[in-house]
Amino acid sequence: MSKRVLTEFNLNDYDNNMYTKVFDKSTSSPLSIIQEPDLQYQDRIQYLFVTSSDRDTGAYPNPNHYAIKFPKEFKNIKEIELVNIILPDKNNITGEPYLLLKIDEIDDVMVSNNIHIAESFAFLALANPTTTGGFITIDKRVHENTPKVYTTPKASLDRMTISITDRLGSPWNFGADTPVPTKALQNTLVFRIVTLEKKRDPLGVRNVY
């Protein structure tokens, strides 16, 4: 092989490998970024149901305070709202002006001169029970759902530590539960969770080689 041919081969081989462009952003940007210069987000609404009957009764013997691990992790949370709550009609609960729902993982929801309301996630004005000694829900004529809106989305949430208290911040006594939860003493909460997900234009038909 002549010197001229060998020189040309080496130059072509250098150009083909593009050594100087390995870390050049113009040639090494991920394809998804090149295709999506104007990435947008869209709301996804999901409903979370939490019940005290599935708590760890060894760690949390009373249904007025417990922690629940979710079956999935919520990410990029924009908004969390209590839609409804079902409580046992026990211990003259209807004689209370209201109860309070506290969630350790979520704060700064309500503003009040009352410290117990200010530290709560939701203000629970109660409706009449379905039957005496049965269950009771939120009075929608009085209660307006109070969502927690995040200006900067909350990165993730995979559990809640819940407390249900009276107006003075003391845990409400629904009655003595058992290791196998008694149905008549359990509470159920329904949350509406809005998360942000990437919005992508549908990809066109592409040939596969």
28: part of which helix (H) or strand (E)?
A: helix 25-28
Looking only at Cα atoms, what is the longest distance across the chain?
103
Looking at residue 185, what DSSP letter applies?
A: G
Six token digits for residue 102: 């506290």
What is the CB-side half-sphere exposure of residue 180 using CA atoms within 13 A?
0
Mean pLDDT of the chain: 84
**Beta-carbon contacts of residue 50 (< 8 Å; ≥ 6 apart):** 68, 160, 162, 188, 189, 190, 191
- Beta 148-165 vs 99-103: how paired, if at all? antiparallel
* pTM recorded for the entire structure: 0.75
Query: Over the stretch 19-31, which tens digit does the pLDDT of each residue have?
Result: 555 556 555 555 5
Find out whether 85 and 140 touch, Cβ atoms under 8 Å.
Answer: no
| Mean pLDDT score, 140-145 | 65
Query: Over the stretch 86-104, which tens digit does the pLDDT of each residue have?
Result: 999 999 999 999 999 999 9
Tokens 């922690």 appear where? 67
Q: How confident is the model at residue 188 (pLDDT cuts 50, 70, 90)?
A: very high
**Positions of E strands within the chain:** 40-51, 65-88, 99-103, 122-124, 135-136, 148-165, 188-199
Query: Over the stretch 44-54, which tens digit does the pLDDT of each residue have?
Result: 999 999 999 99
Q: How confident is the model at residue 140 (pLDDT cuts 50, 70, 90)?
A: confident
